[in-house]
Amino acid sequence: MQMEIRGAAKFHDAYVGDVHRDAGYGDSPYLCVGTDATLGITRSLMQFDLSAIPEGSTIHWARLSIFHSGDDPTPVEVGIHPVTTAWRESGVTWADQPEWGPRYSAQTLESRGWYDFWMTQIVADWCSGRRSNYGIGLKAVDESQVRRIFYSSDYTEDPALLPSLTIDYTPPEASPAIEEYRGFWVDQFHAGAKTPDQVDQLLADAKTAKANAIFLQVRRRGDAYYNNSMEPRTEDPALAEGFDPLADLITKARGEGMEVHAWFSCMKIWNQDTPPVAPDHLFNRHGDAARGTSDYWLSEDANGDNRFQGEAVVDPGHPASNEHLIDVLCHVAENYEIDGVMLDLVRYMGEDWGYNPTALQRYQKQTGVSVPPAPTDANWMTWRRRQVDQLVRKAYVRLLSIKPKLKVSVAVITWGDGPASEADWERTAAMTTVFQDWRTWMEQGWVDMTIPMNYFDESRWAVFYDHWIEWAKNHQYGRISVNGVGIYLNTIDHSLTQIEKGLTPSSAGKRLAGTGLYSYAVTNRDGISNGEFYRALTQGTSQHPDPPFQGPARPPTLQWKENPKTGHVIGRLRSSQNPDRVFDGTDVEIEGAVQRAVSTDGHSDFAVVDLPPGEYVATCGGSSQSFTITAGRVTEVTVEL
């Protein structure tokens, strides 16, 4: 269920300024951040009455919506921070303002309109008692920038413009029967699903292990391990002629109650010295031969190298490359009765990567920067992160437009030590090196499931592993996370240890939604037969007499799929005067039961997830288009400009 907190009775706010240090502005109709000629540096504070949410409720998401009333288009990044000490709306001043915690998230303000700040974990911590509810603070990341003004809860001229906090939650109730994923990654670099006999053996092994899901690799490098494909069939000689592993597995798995998820490697497209045989392979059409044209899709590093460890990879900043990938995913969803789609390698290769000429031109046009940015330039890092965000979000909505109950997952990185705080998350390699902000994807509902690849040798990196699974357990936001265990790095007993730790509740009582095992082909580092590992999962060992998969389990029921309460929209901006014009990075406002702000991608498209049913209007500039959201469905809309 959802609750909206709006209005002065339950929403308390104020701002402070460092020039008049002892002045209070708790009754002002405005809030502000940044520097003002009269007030000096300004900051704003908000506190919310959450007493109506029952103790023990599960918080799925929480979103703060505020209306920016100014017309200055200069971008200003505004961050929200949990407040860690008490304050009063009627008496707070700059001199006695409360203490601020680290920045949780940020939003870039430009034009006048609504802006959303996601604060799910903050609200979850308040409701669970892990953090006292002293509210949040807003301040500009660069406080020297010119002041930005919002309407406060005391604004009376138009109640529709009051700030609000919307919370989606489930009240506490009796615990349902335990459900969990028990899945194997089946890669195509080894035998396992390249002949009918191998598929038969795969299913027999999965049954022995009491698994209930198979993540079958169907794309390695711009190729297809299935027959009905937009891309050329793989050149792998081990794949039986004419054989369709995906179709065969789907047919046989249905009788075993086993889910089949199609696993796509997204960015790598070739790694050989000689080009692919098929003339229509991506590398032949959009690789080295296309360099110097807009059809060139390969990512480059800051020095112009287009091979990452010998691999040719496409660039997430090239719109045509992203559109092709989404088309490939959707083609499989349309033509195969799969249970899910898993995206792998949906990221940049490193902080030095992303300098595809088309991507760089887009960045320079959107920002006005005339020279290539340094790899660590903050704006460049944010822009690249946004490209991956837009790719994931658009893929999710387009896939659901074909199969509303399709389960969309992403295999995500966990490099180095796991974060212990929100500030730690901002410093992870996911955020700063490969620009894969999977926490936001979960929080905003752009995926159904993440599978953090917790590939750590238990004998060396147990602490890193423990920190990552604790983080994943506590940051699911109403979606689910499945623990990806690197069994190939471990002894059988160490793998059992890691599986058991993954299935144990966190210190906050949160559980992961199961286990994904990498890989079916290599189940331990000691060369012991895979059969021994499958048996250990269900029968245990001398060190683990209680096996992790002792009884049967069914895949979790995803309530937002089975009983949807929201719908989605995918839209496009189109010029009536010039249909070929591209609107790239253009802001669109969505208004209705809730308000959302979104920017278009390099194809003039935008997507918004999880809108409550009802009537909405999409607005860009002076043009608008109405549309209707239906629960569990995707609405398509075009805004003519």
Q: What is the DSSP string of 196-251?
A: HHHHHHHHHHHHHTT--EEEEEEESSS-BSSSS-SSPBP--TTSPTT--HHHHHHH
Cα separation, 479 vs 449, whole angstroms: 6
Q: Nearest to residue 584, comparing CAs of 379, 317, 389, 302?
A: 317
Calculate mean pLDDT across residues 92-108.
92
Locate tokens 């929080």: which residue? 443
Q: 515 is written with which tokens? A: 């286990």
Q: Is the pTM of this model over 0.75?
A: yes
Does residue 436 register a pLDDT over 90?
A: yes
**What confidence score (pLDDT) does residue 175 get?**
41
Q: 601 is written with which tokens? A: 């991608």
pLDDT band at 177 (very low <50, low <70, confident <90, very high): low
As annotated, the residues of the chain forming the CATH 2.60.120 domain(s) are: 2-170
Locate all alpha helices (DSSP H) within 74-192, ordered by sequence: 120-128
What own/partner pairs with CB < 8 Å and gap ≥ 24 does 382-385 have?
Answer: 382/108, 383/317, 384/316, 384/317, 384/348, 384/354, 384/435, 385/431, 385/435, 385/436, 385/437
Residue 276's CB: how many other CB atoms inside 10 A? 21
Q: Are 384 and 377 in contact (CB under 8 A)?
A: no
Contacts of 307 (CB under 8 A, 6+ apart): none
The amino acid occupying position 70 is G
Architecture of the domain spanning 2-170: Sandwich (2.60)
pLDDT band at 176 (very low <50, low <70, confident <90, very high): very low
As annotated, the residues of the chain forming the CATH 3.20.20.80 domain(s) are: 181-560
Architecture of the domain spanning 564-640: Sandwich (2.60)
Q: Nearest to residue 137, comparing CAs of 91, 90, 95, 85?
A: 85
The DSSP output letter for 545 is S
Residue 225's φ and ψ, nearest 5 degrees, are -105, 45
Cα separation, 365 vs 359, whole angstroms: 10
Q: Which residues are bridge partners to 452 per DSSP?
A: 412
**What confidence score (pLDDT) does residue 501 get?**
98
The DSSP output letter for 311 is B
CATH topology of domain 181-560: TIM Barrel (3.20.20)
**What confidence score (pLDDT) does residue 426 get?**
97
In the chain, the percentage of residues whose pLDDT exceeds 70 is 99
As annotated, the residues of the chain forming the CATH 2.60.40.10 domain(s) are: 564-640
In the chain, the percentage of residues whose pLDDT exceeds 90 is 90
Q: 638 is written with which tokens? A: 């075009």
Cα separation, 635 vs 266, whole angstroms: 26
Does residue 313 register a pLDDT over 90?
A: yes
Which whole-number Å values give the CA distances from 153 to 16, 39, 118, 158, 237, in the listed order? Answer: 16, 20, 19, 11, 67
Cα separation, 521 vs 185, whole angstroms: 9
Per-residue pLDDT of 590-619, as tens digits, reads 999 999 999 999 999 999 999 999 999 999
**What confidence score (pLDDT) does residue 132 get?**
93
Cα 526 from chain centroid (whole Å): 35
Calculate mean pLDDT across residues 176-194.
91
